[in-house]
Amino acid sequence: MSNRQTVVYRKDYKAPNHDVETINLVFDLIPDRTIVTSTMHVVPREGRESDEFELNGESLQLVSIKINGQPSLTNQYAMNAGKLIFHSIKEPTDIEIVTRINPKANLELSGLYLSNNNFITQCEAEGFRRITYFPDRPDVLAKYTVTLHAPKECKVLLSNGNLVDQGVLPDGRKYAIWHDPFPKPSYLFALVAGNFTVNEDKIELNNDKTALLQIYTEPGNENKTVHAMDCLKKAIRWDEVRYGLTLDLERFMIVATNDFNMGAMENKGLNIFNAKYVLADDRVATDSDYAAIESVIGHEYFHNWTGDRVTCRDWFQLSLKEGLTVFREQEFASDMLGSESAKVVKRIKDVRALRTAQFPEDSGPMAHPIRPDSYSEINNFYTMTVYEKGAEVVRMYQTMFGKEGFKKGLAEYLRRYDGSAATCDDFRTAMAEANDADLSQFALWYSQAGTPRVSVKTQWDESKKTFTITTRQSNRTLPGQPKPQPLMIPLAVGVLNDKGEDIPLQLEGEPLPVGTTRVLLLNQDVQTWTLVNVDRRPLLSLGRGFSAPVIFDMDLTRDQLVFLAKNDSDLFNRAEAFEKLSILAIDAFIQELRKTQNANSLSPMEAYLATFEEILNDERLSPAYRAEILKLPSE
């Protein structure tokens, strides 16, 4: 890892002085001395702070620099703390920089390195500066043309975008030229060169074009990419159908490698994967292996629009692409699951993961907002909070505006920022304006760390037929953070009557009921909501579908839990009730073991077993759903 220790602050963001409109890269690939020739067309920005053009570089050997075709003079630039700074670029200028790098010695797996003698890259977050000098920041978007020269044994030569040309050089080496028509930040650059086999297929897109799909793996894995290819096709189709988003390249490639720091990487048109998220061997792969492959293939593919077409202005905005793409991946995986109750299994698992891995992050010394304010090492911010809580924050927009409203907001965001770099605030504003809503208070979800607690009390007035719901939200003050403010929290609720039916929900002052599940928008510490025409004994179903990343807190008796576990039309909450019942049963069981002489205390266990049996035999529920919710709670 690099030993830069400087702290970077979000508030210090400054736009770059220059754009790089195009970059032409030529690689002479040799394991221990690769030569990289980069030619950039650099254009000063209007209203820039200065004429200094600043490039990052790390572990590079500088060979030569030319400015507009002329060897540069040493007084035209300076090297300062790992940065190459041209003092004065006032006009559009072509800058050629030749560097030498040693992929074989690169053991950080960041930049260009060797995996099993194949050349592979990983550039997110700051790996491109280990390939050549470049303004290695996500708000500098350039169009890339890449030429690869490689030894003749090298079977496959890949980079981003579309293949322009390939062949054999006069000296017998191979070459390939790639052009990516979409401007992209340097972290999305990729190249792969080596010995791979390919599984390929075609897909008809909704714009009547045909795209080539390729999955490259090390030889011997030919038969293990069938599932991955199927997942890729499903993901492409799903993004078309659900969001109207089409694959924008002639081909889409996935490469699997055994040496990879992350799960996978969404480089434009050339995703690179840790092999475990691509390869599935029919004889030994489990359901969860297949599901993980589907999710990760979906995730990286969905980044093509949410990450690549619109990227992040700076790394503080990481959740802009990751939270949104995790949410899209979750929706995709859920939509692939068939029946309603099978889909809920995905939600149950995602919420369980959030509670077991993100809630502790949010309550411990590492608590940070989904959009951090400072970092000293960005690689440490690829966290459960940025990814998974970030996805929950994105999901809340859908909970507030519905699937159609969310789709409108996403389309507006992509329309506004296509081909550029945006912020979390830009996303929130696009959502708000597309849905005619005021989301200024919602901004706190991006800046405030910690898991809020929402405690709820209810009261039924039988004579007035009113049912009052009182909510209290509390947010813990974290060390070094300002006193927390109340958040805007969408609280999805339903009400069951004593026959177990959902009742129509009519708030005081409303002429008619509006549906049976409603989203109450919390925005103060304490709030009260009164439902009218509640003529039979009601029971609240709280936080349906886990409508916000909070701790829901309501006292429920054992009988009420039994009732919800049997009757709640919200299948997520049914699982929640049953889980609580399981915990009570286990508690009781432990107590029974301690004092076996009290025969009357057997009832919790009986309640548990009877409900267990009822759910087990409910043929209307999918087997997957039943299997999932009847599991005992984890520690």
Confirm if 370 and 453 have CB atoms less than 8 A apart.
no
Q: What is the footprint of Zn ion within residues 319-378 (CB under 5 A)?
A: 322, 325
Q: How far is the CB of 180 from ligand SER (least distance, A)?
A: 17
Identify the residue among 264, 354, 370, 588 touching ligand SER (CB under 6 A): 264
Residue 389 within binding range of ligand SER, rule CB under 6 A: no
Q: How far is the CB of 456 from ligand SER (least distance, A)?
A: 35
Residue 293 within binding range of ligand SER, rule CB under 6 A: no
Residue 265 within binding range of ligand SER, rule CB under 6 A: yes
Residue 568 binds which entry of ligand SER, Zn ion, none, with Cβ cut-offs from 5 to 8 Å by kind?
none
Only one of the segments 112-120, 263-271, 341-349, 601-609 lies at the binding site for ligand SER (rule: CB under 6 A); that segment is: 263-271
Full strand arrangement of the beta sheet holding 517-522: 517-522, 489-496, 539-542
Residue 270 within binding range of ligand SER, rule CB under 6 A: no
Please confirm, yes or no, whether 300 is among the known catalytic residues: yes
Residue 265 binds which entry of ligand SER, Zn ion, none, with Cβ cut-offs from 5 to 8 Å by kind?
ligand SER
Tokens 């889980």 appear where? Answer: 579
Confirm if 57 and 84 have CB atoms less than 8 A apart.
yes
Mask for 304-323, x = binds ligand SER (CB under 6 A): ------------------x-
Residue 263 binds which entry of ligand SER, Zn ion, none, with Cβ cut-offs from 5 to 8 Å by kind?
ligand SER
Residue 268 within binding range of ligand SER, rule CB under 6 A: no
Q: How far is the CB of 122 from ligand SER (least distance, A)?
A: 9
Pick from 88, 90, 72, 106: nearest CA to 1: 106
Q: How far is the CB of 396 from ligand SER (least distance, A)?
A: 21
Query: Is 226 or 262 the residue whose CB approaches ligand SER more closely?
Result: 262
Q: Which two tokens stand for residue 269?
A: 């048109």
Distance CA 86, CA 68 (A): 13
Confirm if 346 and 333 have CB atoms less than 8 A apart.
yes
Confirm if 561 and 584 have CB atoms less than 8 A apart.
yes
Query: Is 262 or 602 the residue whose CB approaches ligand SER more closely?
Result: 262
Confirm if 364 and 479 have CB atoms less than 8 A apart.
no
Pick from 191, 269, 193, 178: nearest CA to 232: 269
Mask for 329-368, x = binds ligand SER (CB under 6 A): ----------------------------------------
Only one of the segments 3-11, 318-326, 394-402, 578-586 lies at the binding site for Zn ion (rule: CB under 5 A); that segment is: 318-326
Helix (H, G, I), strand (E, B) or coil at 84: strand
Residue 263 within binding range of ligand SER, rule CB under 6 A: yes
Pick from 526, 393, 409: nearest CA to 447: 393
- Residues that contact Zn ion, how many (by CB under 5 A): 2
Residue 300 within binding range of ligand SER, rule CB under 6 A: yes
Q: How many residues does the chain have?
A: 635
Please tell me what DSSP assigns to residue 306.
Answer: B
Residue 388 within binding range of ligand SER, rule CB under 6 A: no
Q: Catalytic residue, from 266, 300, 329, 331: name it.
A: 300
Please tell me what DSSP assigns to residue 541.
Answer: E
**Burial category of 276 from C-beta neighbours within 10 Å (exposed 0-12, middle 13-18, buried 19 and up):** middle
- Residues that contact ligand SER, how many (by CB under 6 A): 10
Query: Is 124 or 126 the residue whose CB approaches ligand SER more closely?
Result: 124
Residue 124 within binding range of ligand SER, rule CB under 6 A: yes
Q: Which two tokens stand for residue 208?
A: 């009547």
Residue 124 binds which entry of Zn ion, ligand SER, none, with Cβ cut-offs from 5 to 8 Å by kind?
ligand SER
Q: How far is the CB of 297 from Zn ion (least distance, A)?
A: 12
Q: How far is the CB of 608 from ligand SER (least distance, A)?
A: 40
For residue 342, cis peptide bond before it (omega within 30 degrees of 0)? no
Query: Is 307 or 486 the residue whose CB approaches ligand SER more closely?
Result: 307
Q: Which two tokens stand for residue 513?
A: 């009921």
Pick from 596, 599, 632, 629: nearest CA to 614: 629
Query: Is 257 or 325 the residue whose CB approaches Zn ion more closely?
Result: 325
Only one of the segments 162-170, 317-325, 338-346, 539-547 lies at the binding site for Zn ion (rule: CB under 5 A); that segment is: 317-325
**What is the residue-wise DSSP string for 122-166?**
E-TTTTGGGTS-B--STT--EEEEEEEEE-TT--EEEESSEEEEE
Only one of the segments 109-117, 209-217, 258-266, 501-509 lies at the binding site for ligand SER (rule: CB under 6 A); that segment is: 258-266
Give the max Cα distance, the chain.
95
Distance CA 512, CA 95 (A): 69
Q: How far is the CB of 124 from ligand SER (least distance, A)?
A: 5
Residue 308 binds which entry of ligand SER, Zn ion, none, with Cβ cut-offs from 5 to 8 Å by kind?
none
Query: Is 243 or 625 the residue whose CB approaches Zn ion more closely?
Result: 243
Q: How far is the CB of 288 from Zn ion (least distance, A)?
A: 20
Distance CA 556, CA 458 (A): 11
Q: How far is the CB of 239 from ligand SER (least distance, A)?
A: 15
Identify the residue among 137, 299, 328, 428 touching ligand SER (CB under 6 A): 299
Distance CA 92, CA 319 (A): 34
Only one of the segments 251-259, 261-269, 340-348, 466-474 lies at the binding site for ligand SER (rule: CB under 6 A); that segment is: 261-269
Distance CA 331, CA 238 (A): 10
Pick from 368, 303, 358, 374: nearest CA to 332: 303
Confirm if 379 and 109 have CB atoms less than 8 A apart.
no
Identify the residue among 96, 180, 248, 266 touching ligand SER (CB under 6 A): 266
Q: Which two tokens stand for residue 481?
A: 């953070």
Identify the residue among 262, 366, 627, 632 touching ligand SER (CB under 6 A): 262
Q: What angle do CA 572, 578, 580 make, to 5 degrees?
A: 105
Q: How far is the CB of 449 from Zn ion (least distance, A)?
A: 21
Which residues are part of the catalytic machinery? 300
Q: Which residues bind ligand SER (CB under 6 A)?
A: 124, 262-266, 299-300, 322, 382
Binding positions for Zn ion, rule: CB under 5 A:
322, 325
